[in-house]
Amino acid sequence: MASASPRPSHRRSLRTRRTLVVSAAAVAAAVGAGVLVMNANANPTVDLYHQVLPAKDGWAASGSGTTGGTKADAAHTFTVSTRAQLVKALGSATDTTPRIIKIKGTIDANTNDSGKKLTCADYASGTGYSLSAYLKAFDPSTYGKKAPSGTQETARKAAQDKQKKNIVFRVPSNTTIVGVPGTKAGILGGSVLVQNVKNVVLRNLTFADTQDCFPQWDPTDGSSGEWNSNYDSVTLRGATNVWADHNTFTDAPTFDKTEATYYGRKYQVHDGALDITNGSDLVTVERNQFLNHDKTMLIGSSDTDSTGKLRVTIHHNLWKGIVQRAPLARIGQIHLYNNVYDITTVNGYAPKYSLDSRAKAQVVAERNVWKTPADAKVAKLLSGDGTGSVAGTGNVVNGKATNLVAAYNAANSKKLKTTVNWTPALTTGLQTTVTSLLTDLTGTTGAGTLS
């Protein structure tokens, strides 16, 4: 992938993700204080592009709420189907003029302004980088256990910068980006960056196979070193009032199991799916599908991220084929309710844990549903460092009400705390009965289920 000629698996990665098959059953959309159920094809006059986050629908409803670009005029309403058109529609990240961007079809981020396909070899061209030379330069048996530096590391960074300029899309404040129904709308191989801006809406989009052509070897990461990549499908960094609704996040069609192993570690080209870091605040993540991914959602970039921020609501999402970080939460006040976790190994993605509360995170997890294999241990559904809290009741494992924290604490020395310093109040759509939640969310979440 990151050599003078692209690896076969990465050529395959450029294919468009096959659309998820969804039923014609109802789309559950949180409205007001309840849940309005409407057929996905029943109301063609619904204006997705001007919809705003309903009142009390999670943390993003705080303050003046999250409205995105609903006030956009005709001159700032765009329909785009190529990378170049998307870049033009986004404009400057510092321009706060409300804008609505309708994505029609799948945009391949690894293309140039003329629409020509770009490969990892194209980004490496002229930098002096080659994977074979990099592997030779930093072989742990000769280079040792220190951070890479020198000619090949400099060349790797240069090649990575070339790719970054092409695949990272910076979103300005007061922006709504929505996939046009029925067009398989989304971004392939791209990274949407919402950084130091406010009031952003992302809906009805598939974010697929965001790859870093040039992962860095870090021999100091863990006991054996790791390959680390650089791009999330969506990154919130210092962002405020963001609503992510009815999107699909997936590594497909390039699954981690197809990647090579170097120095005894997987050559990891995928980073996060949706990461919320660097003091981001007032975020609602609802009715998305997170599929086929390892490190899925990080809340808080480090144990010293911003105290008083990182307030995030995560509800009615489907997680399947997820290894870890669903989410990993630090510091903030995080509310998880009515999510479904299908703990099944899919396409080689074997689950480690679902929820990790650490660095004094204050998590309320209530009325979520886990579907696990018969031999799975409930104690392994959670994780923590001994400082994080997980409160909440009504969680269900394989149809049975289960105290997840008690199971985890019984098996671990670093206990999860069971009390938090806040009480959720923004809980639109919270269902107290979760009997049919797995079936309901399978057909009504993710991209392609809004019309």
Q: What is the per-residue DSSP string for 264-325?
A: TEE------SEEEETT-EEEEEES-EEEEEEE--EESSSTTS-TT---EEEES-EEEEEEE-
The neighbour count for residue 130, using CB atoms within 10 Å, is: 19
Q: Which two tokens stand for residue 129?
A: 């980088």
- The catalytic residue positions are 325
How much is the pTM? 0.90
Instruction: Give the pLDDT confidence score for residue 11 in this predicted structure.
Output: 32
Instruction: Give the pLDDT confidence score for residue 451 in this predicted structure.
Output: 86
Instruction: Give the pLDDT confidence score for residue 328 in this predicted structure.
Output: 98
The neighbour count for residue 394, using CB atoms within 10 Å, is: 18
Q: Which residues of 428-438 are buried (b: 16+ CB within 10 A; e: fewer)?
A: bbbbeebeebb
Q: 137 near 161, Cβ under 8 Å?
A: no
Report, as ranges of residue numbers, the positions in the chain whose pLDDT lies below 50.
1-43
